[in-house]
């Protein structure tokens, strides 16, 4: 009987390692999706704020690392927006707003799906750990906990 339990413990150990790696991968993906969502939210807010600016307005444009350059707004109605694979196109401000809004909606769906996957993996990890503890106690000859 102990041999069967020991074999199941080995299987659970392997499964737990795989599930923990999967959880780490999903958490990394969720962090990346959150970073992209933050970036798109800033883009959306900036596009909204452009409505208040007039042609030739002086702006501070972020260039990274909390550094900015001064620039003049040549045409507030035209925006260059990335469409993927390093390709950018010129769109009207309204088209750009719609594009960013759609990307945020798609991103939210991806975040929700990833969060659900992560929750399922976490639940399975919890079940496997409980089973592992029960089996380990049985192998050691201890009494199985009553609340399991």
Q: For the whole model, what pTM was predicted?
A: 0.78
- The list of the chain residues with pLDDT below 70 reads 1-2, 142-148
Contact yes or no for 145/137 (Cβ under 8 A): yes
**Count of helices and strands (H, E) across the chain:** 2, 4
Domain assignment present for 20: yes
47, part of any domain: yes
For residues 38-61, one letter each, b for 16 or more C-beta atoms within 10 angstroms of the residue's C-beta and e for the rest, the string is eebeebbeebeebeeeeeeeeeee
Phi-psi region of 65 (alpha: psi -120 to 50; beta: other; left: phi over 0): left
Q: Look at residue 131 and tell me if it is in a domain.
A: yes
Domain that holds residue 16: 2-51+93-139
Question: For the chain, how many structural domains are there in total?
Answer: 1
Percent of the chain with pLDDT over 90: 67
């Amino acid at each position: 009987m102990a041999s069967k339990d020991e074999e199941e413990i080995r299987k659970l150990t392997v499964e737990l390692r795989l599930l923990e790696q999967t959880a780490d991968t999903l958490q990394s993906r969720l962090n990346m999706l959150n970073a992209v969502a933050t970036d798109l939210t800033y883009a959306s807010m900036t596009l909204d704020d452009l409505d208040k600016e007039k042609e030739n307005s002086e702006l501070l444009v972020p260039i990274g690392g909390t550094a900015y350059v001064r620039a003049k707004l040549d045409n507030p109605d035209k925006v260059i927006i990335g469409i993927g694979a390093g390709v950018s196109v010129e769109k009207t401000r309204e088209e750009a707003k719609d594009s960013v809004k759609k990307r945020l909606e798609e991103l939210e769906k991806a975040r929700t799906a990833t969060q659900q996957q992560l929750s399922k993996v976490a639940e399975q990890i919890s079940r496997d750990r409980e089973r592992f503890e029960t089996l380990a106690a049985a192998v050691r000859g201890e009494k199985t906990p009553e609340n399991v």
